[in-house]
Amino acid sequence: MNFLSPQRVLEEFAATTSKLAQGFDALKQLDEVAVGVAPKQAVWKKDKVQLLQYVRETPATARTPILIVYALVNRHDMIDIQADRSFIRNLQAAGLDLYLVDWGYPTPEDRYFTMDEYINGYLDDAVDVIRARTGQPAITLMGICQGGTFSVIYSALHPQKVKNLVTLVTPIDFATPRDLLSKWAKHLDVDALVDAHGNVPGELLNAGFALLKPLLKTTKYVSILNAVDKPEQLLNFLRMEQWIADSPSQAGECFRQFVKELYQQNRLVKGTLELSGRPVRLANITMPLLNIYAQEDHLVPPEASIPLNDLVGSLDKSLTRFAGGHIGVFVGSRSQKELAPGIAHWLHERDT
Amino acid sequence: MEQTATFFDTWYNSTAKLVNDWREATEKLNGEQRNMWDEAGKMQQNWMSSFQSMMQNMQLPFMGGSGSSPFAHSGMQDAFFNMLKSTDVYTRLFQLWQPVLQAMQNNSFQSQDFWKLIDQQGFKTFVDKLFGFDAVTPVRTFMDQSTQMMKLWMSSATEASKNFGPMFSNGLPFFGSLTQLNPQSLTQWYMQMAQTAQRSMAPFWGSTDTGQIPSMQSVVEMMEQWGNYMAKMNQLQTMLYKHSVSAWEKVMQTMADKAKEGNVPTDFNQFYNEWSAINEAEFVALFNTDEYAALQGELIKLNSEMNKAYEKQMEVFLQPYPVVLRSQLDEVYKVNHELRGRINTLEKLVDELQKNKPENQAPQNQLEIKTPNAEEGKPGRKENK
């Protein structure tokens, strides 16, 4: 333990202070770091929700358009975090025509929006817009995390409009032993929370997510001090931090319903979930299904995603394990080479 | 703004000198000096002291959001603040463990002496900082938001608010105390607020059905809630301290075993990684217990109820004034939401009717896709199909 000599102790403190000063200087010179910059255009808008189409330079090689449905929690920029780590650009490069629902940032006037209105309202509208624009009777729905849950529910209610269903890191079974969020949700008085706040603040959710890995923040900020003189590495870090901090509030009623009926009552797998008075039966999902989960996912453990394949009515269904965590599956270096090309290959095979 | 920029620039410029001074001092130290650990300890203490001072100085303008930050973007400001906080935790850990590691290095370590070598108050402060009990961020945010709301309300009030406005401003310093979770300050602030409000609003209260007694009752209720919240928060802190003790003892045992095998970390970062892995596993295990989840749930519930009671109390104070209250806005939002839903339903109906007109009916072989009207911003659910 030579690092405990007085000389080394002082050197360590001097080095830390020096790095902090360098960090201060580097950060002072930076403006906002750009995320989610793949070219796109809004093709439809209702209230705060937009349908975006990613601009292609060449015609798509697959006929069926794809609608990406991201979670209401955090923003979709994570899948286009930077040019060389972009799930979006990789899907585009593989020949796909991409659309995305941008849920926007709910304000207090949106507190009464329900899960039904998000799924049977906005999402259904977005699907119809794409069907009309492309002339395709059914589209590919690609849901991520909570957006995956929404996509599954939508596919069960409107199977005729969904040609293929792709789910990524999607919670389906909300009562699995390693699921900390599920454990916490069981003891959450969501009525008290929503009644007090209206919309549930994004900061509150982020504080909860941080507790899932309580030492991660300290560790990563200590580590990044070693990269304050490496602009590319620092910028990569800052992009991810910016994405994490960009956490919209959750429309109160939708949050209440999601926590109560899914996290607390696990109605989706029990077959007791209803939207607009209609039962959500996973057996109604008969289109081809590609279900991808992340092996080291601490937010949506694999056991929460895997059961989907046993519950749907699809005959053509694939379950794919991907190394990495909830976010790493999209931004990791292996993902750039394998995830999007793999999905595109699966879709091309079914693009008849 | 200039003052803040000067502060930061001064700090930045003086850092280089500080580092050079340390390096010079380090060179002066040599193995023959019997008090070299004392010297190093003093310098370390000085560093920590100046670091803490800097942290405290920085928190005020950062939290104020008054545009006084030297950073061009709030994200960079947050990043630097997180760097400082993390460095604070990292260096405190170093300081706390140094005597233990030193004893291990000298082969004089006895496991039963572990807690004698750790500074108890430093340990508590460390755990508080690690889990954010020092900044009490949620309370601060809650108070900041409430203050902001009050300012908005007051800015839209008429002449009648003239007395109330200064009173509220005078009350603002108490928020600083509140963020330290000091119930006495809360009582004092509310009493002052209630007394001043009573004086300035008496004519209005006379004409409303929300008088002094209901107002004071609600203050008492809120104080009770605050007390309950504090009791639960104490439970949570105690739970975290206990698990930290257990985790640290595991780290100690791991390090002692490694020391016996001659397999010791060669730098502090290696030690930190070992410490971090063990602590994270311990805390994740704790967070996955029903006991923790239930306590966390109770705290969130109490916090929510306090938030609601606070809002209610503010509305009681503000009711005589010609300002729009949050509960009234919520009612408007609710009605708007219902109306928009009905409009949406009617639009769908019109679309259906238009499509069913004979001249609009598509030939049998033509694909029929219903398209939402892109121009109209109506929300929500469609009718069941």
Are A19 and A228 within 8 A, CB to CB? yes
pLDDT at B352: 83
CA of B218 vs chain A CAs: smallest distance (Å): 16
Give residues 285 to 324 of B whose Cβ lies within 8 Å of A.
Answer: 287-288, 290, 293-294, 296-298, 300-301, 304-305, 307-308, 311
CB within 8 Å: A14 and B26: yes
To probe the interface with A, which of B11, B19, B107, B134 has the most A CB atoms within 10 Å?
A: B19
Residues of A in contact with B283 (CB under 8 A): 214-215
pLDDT at B201: 42
Residues of B in contact with A109 (CB under 8 A): 333, 336-337
pLDDT at A250: 97
Nearest Cα to Cα of residue A123 among B343, B382, B342, B337: B382
Helix (H) or strand (E) holding B213: helix B212-260
Exposure b/e, B236-259, CB count within 10 A at least 16 = b: beebbeebbeebbeebbeebbeeb
pLDDT at B239: 92
Contacts of residues A328-334 at CB distance under 8 Å and 24 or more positions apart, as own/partner, are A328/A294, A328/A296, A329/A168, A329/A169, A329/A292, A329/A294, A329/A297, A330/A78, A330/A79, A330/A81, A330/A87, A330/A168, A331/A78, A331/A81, A331/A85, A331/A87, A331/A240, A333/A85
Rounded to the nearest integer, the mean pLDDT of chain B is 70
ipTM higher than the 0.95 cut: no
Beta bridge partners of A52: A42, A100
Q: Mean pLDDT throughout B33-47?
A: 59
| Nearest beta carbon to residue A27 from set B76, B267, B334 | B76
So where are chain B's domains? 210-320, 322-351
Determine the length of chain A.
352
Split at pLDDT 50, 70, 90, the class of B75 is confident
| Nearest beta carbon to residue B333 from set A25, A109, A278 | A109
Split at pLDDT 50, 70, 90, the class of B46 is low
Say which residue, A180 or A12, is predicted with more confidence.
A180
Q: State pLDDT tens for residues A266-325.
A: 999 999 999 989 999 999 999 999 999 999 999 999 999 999 999 999 999 999 999 999
Integer-rounded Cα radius of gyration of chain B: 30
Q: State pLDDT tens for residues A56-96.
A: 999 999 999 999 999 999 999 999 999 999 999 999 999 99
Q: Which residue has the tokens 């008492």?
A: B220
Split at pLDDT 50, 70, 90, the class of B230 is confident
| Nearest beta carbon to residue A183 from set B47, B98, B288 | B288
pLDDT at B17: 61
**Annotated catalytic residue A145:** yes
Q: For residue B243, is pLDDT > 50? A: yes
Q: Mean pLDDT throughout A50-58?
A: 97
Find the Cα–Cα–Cα–Cα dihedral A13, A19, A22, A24, rounded to 10°: -80
pLDDT at A230: 93
Q: Which residue has the tokens 């199909």?
A: B385
Q: Can you tell me the distance from the alpha carbon of B197 to that of B174, in angstroms, rounded to the nearest whole number? A: 17
Question: Could you tell me what percent of chain A has a pLDDT over 90?
Answer: 88
CA of A47 vs chain B CAs: smallest distance (Å): 5
Q: Can you tell me the distance from the alpha carbon of B248 to that of B120, in angstroms, rounded to the nearest whole number? A: 12
Q: Mean pLDDT throughout B73-86?
A: 87
pLDDT at B226: 79
Determine how β-strand A274-275 pairs with β-strand A278-279.
antiparallel
So where are chain A's domains? 40-218+238-349
Q: Can you tell me the distance from the alpha carbon of B305 to that of B303, in angstroms, rounded to the nearest whole number? A: 5
Q: State pLDDT tens for residues A169-224.
A: 999 999 999 999 999 999 999 999 999 999 999 999 999 999 999 999 999 999 99
A40-218+238-349 folds as Rossmann fold (3.40.50)
Q: For residue B132, is pLDDT > 80? A: no
**Whole-model pTM?**
0.82
Q: Which residues contact A294 (CB under 8 A, 6 or more apart)?
A: A169, A300, A302, A322, A323, A324, A325, A326, A328, A329
| Residue in A35, A68, A69, A145 annotated catalytic | A145
